[in-house]
Structure 1
Amino acid sequence: MAGKFELYTDESGMHRFRLKASNGTIVVTGDPQESKDDCLKSIESIRKLAPYAELKETAGSA
Structure 2
Amino acid sequence: MDTTFKGAARRLDDLDLPKLGARIGVGEDEIHAFLDVETSGHGFEAHGRPIILFEPHVFFRNL
Q: Establish whether TM, by shorter chain, passes 0.5.
A: no
Larger RCO, structure (CA 8 Å, separation 6 or more): 2
Higher fraction of helix: 2
TM-score normalized with structure 1 length: 0.32
Give the structure with higher Rg (CA): 2
